[in-house]
Amino acid sequence: MASIVLSTLNSRYSHASLGLRCLRANLGSLHARSVIREFVVRTPVDTIADALLAEQPRIIGLGVYIWNVVQTTELVGRLKARAPEVDIVVGGPEVSHEVDAQEICRLADFVVTGWGDVTFARLASALLHGPRPLMKVHAGEQPPLADLALPYREYTDEDLAHRTVYVEASRGCPFKCEFCLSALDRTAWAFPLDPFLAELRTLHARGARHYKFVDRTFNLKISSSARILEFFLDLIAAHPDSPPFLHFELIPDHLPEQLRALVARFPPGTLQFEIGIQTFDAATQRRISRTQDNAAAEANIAWLRRNSQAHLHVDLIAGLPGEDLASFAAGFDRLVGLKPHEIQVGLLKRLRGAPIARRSEAFGMRYAETPPYQVIESSALDAATVERVARFARYWDLVANSGRFAGALPLVLDAAPFARFMDLADWLYATEGRTHALPTERLYELVHRWLVERGVDADLATATLAADYRRSGARGRVALGGTAVVVQGTARRRRLATRQARHGAA
C-alpha cells in the first residue's frame, strides 16, 4: 500500500503523464511510499475511485487539465464522500488560476498552483509528518531546473513499449501570445543538457522509440537544438532498423542554416514538427501580442516541405479577437499553398489565466462556460459562423488531415481551398446531419457525390477516390457512383497505415 497516490485522467492510454513523473521523481524520501496510477477520461469514475482507494492512501494527488476537469471534479466529490480522511491535492494548469471560481478547488483539501515539483513534496511531507498546513492554496515554487530530479526513470517498461514518452529540454516561453498560458512566463529556461541527453540515452537503451518534446520553443536556442538533433541522428545511425520517432514544436520564423542542415539528414518517418502559425493577419497578431515574421515563417515551411522528410503539422486558430471569416480564409489559403501535411484548424479557447480574457469586452468575445471554453461568437464572427467553422475543422480532419484522400484533395480544393472546402463541409452536414461516427466507406462515397455534383468528371473522381481507398490501408467495399471498389483483407492481416505514413505515400 502507498501513502501517496499520484493520478490523472489522460485523454487516451497512449499518453503518459510527464507531470506525475516529475512529481514522483522529486519526492525525495517519500518516493518509496508513492505510486503512479493513470486512467483515461472514459473510465467510469466509480472504477477510478475504487482503484485509488484500494491503495489505502493518505494523500491522493490529481493532475487537472482542460480535457479532464469535468471528470476529475466528479472524482474528487466521490472520493471525499467515500473517504473523507484522505487528503486530496489538486494541481495542474486548469486549477492554477481562478481558483475561487472552481468547484473542484472547493471540494479538494489543497490546491497547488503553478510548478509543483518541490511544492507538492513539501506539502505531502507536512501532511504525513506535520505540522498540518493551515493554507489551502499553495503557490508553486520555481526552483532552478538544475536542482530538479529528472523524471525519466519513472517511465516503466510497459510505458516504453506501448506509450508516447514525453520529454522536456526546457520549460517556459519568452513570447507573449495572449491566447496561451505560456504568455505568463518571464522567459524560457533550459534543463542542463548533458544530464538530459544521458537520460534520453538510457530511455533508448530501454526500448523507447516515440518521443514527444513538450518544449514550447524547441528551436529557441539553436546550439541546444542542434545538439539534441545530432544526438538522435547518432542513434539512428547506430540503430537504423529501429529508428525513433520525434515530435518537436517549432517557432515558425526561426530556422537558421545550422538546423536546416541537421533536419535534412533525418530519414522518412522519424521527424514531426508542430508549427504554430495561428494567424497570418498582421493586425490580429498585434492585437494578441504575437510577434511573427510571416515571410520568414512561409519561407521556412516551404523549405521544410521541399528539402526535408519531416512531417509538418501546422496550427491555425479561428475566432481570434477582431479576425473575421474573410481574414481567416485568406490565411488558410495562404497556408494550403505551402503544402504542409496537416493543417490543424482550432477554435480559440479561453484558457483560465490566459491574458486573452482582457479582449473580451472590446471584441464581443463570448466563450462556453464549460471545458474546453471554446469561443461561441465575437464581434467579427457570429455564432452561426463559428459553428460552421467548427464543422469545417472536423471534416477537414477526416478528409485532409487523415491522409486518406490525398489524391482527391486537389480536386476538392481546386483554386479556392477555403471556399471549396467550406462548401463541402456545409454539404456534408446538410446531407448527413453529423460530424462524427461517419464510416470511412461512407465518407468516400459522399466526397465522390459532391465532386460530381460540383462538375468534376465522374470517371476522374471515381478513379482518383478508388486509388485513394486502396492506398489508405482500408479493407472493405466502397461504392463510387456505379463502380464498386473492393479491397480484400482479414481481421488478422488488417493493419492501417498511420496518418504520417499515408501522407508520405501520397
Element spanning 484, H or E? strand 483-487
Pick 4-143's CATH classification: 3.40.30.10, 3.40.50.280, 3.90.180.10, 3.40.720.10: 3.40.50.280
Closest CA to 461 of 475, 482, 440: 482
pLDDT value of residue 489: 55
> Are 371 and 69 in contact, with CB atoms under 8 Å apart?
yes
Question: H or E element: which one contains 248?
Answer: strand 245-250
**pLDDT at residue 386, as a whole number:** 98
What pLDDT is attached to residue 186? 84
How many residues are listed for the chain in this entry?
506
In order, the DSSP letters of 490-505 are -TTT--PPPHHHHHHH
Distance between CA atoms of residues 343 and 397, nearest Å? 8
Domain ranges of the chain: 4-143, 155-357, 382-506
How far lies 443's CA from each of 190, 467, 469, 484, in Å? Answer: 46, 15, 11, 14
pLDDT at 505: 56
Residue 41 grid cell: 477520461
10-residue block means of pLDDT along the chain (506 residues)?
96 96 98 98 98 98 98 98 98 97 98 98 98 97 97 97 95 93 91 98 96 94 96 96 96 96 97 97 97 97 98 98 98 98 98 96 97 98 98 98 97 98 98 95 96 97 95 89 75 51 67
Q: Count other Cβ atoms within 10 Å, centred on residue 119.
A: 22
Q: Which residues of 436-474 are buried (b: 16+ CB within 10 A; e: fewer)?
A: eeeebbebbbbbbbbbbeeebeeeebbebbbebbebbbb
Contact at 8 Å (CB) between 439 and 475?
no
From the candidate CATH numbers 3.30.360.10, 3.80.30.20, 2.40.50.100, 3.40.50.2300, the one assigned to the domain spanning 155-357: 3.80.30.20
User: Strand, helix or coil at 436?
Assistant: coil
Instruction: State how far the Cα of 471 lies from the Cα of 462, in Å rounded to an integer.
Output: 14
Residue 13, phi then psi, degrees to nearest 5: -65, -35
Quick: pLDDT tens for 352-369.
999 999 999 999 999 999
Distance from C-alpha of 504 to C-alpha of 268, rounded to nearest angstrom: 8
Q: Grid coordinates standing for 403? A: 491522409
- Please report the pLDDT score of residue 482 as a whole number: 82
CB atoms within 10 A of CB 237: 10
What are the Cα distances from residue 6, in Å, to 15, 116, 128, 160, 458?
16, 12, 15, 19, 58
Q: Is the peptide bond before 321 cis (omega within 30 degrees of 0)?
A: no
Collapsing DSSP states into helix, strand and coil, what is residue 165? strand
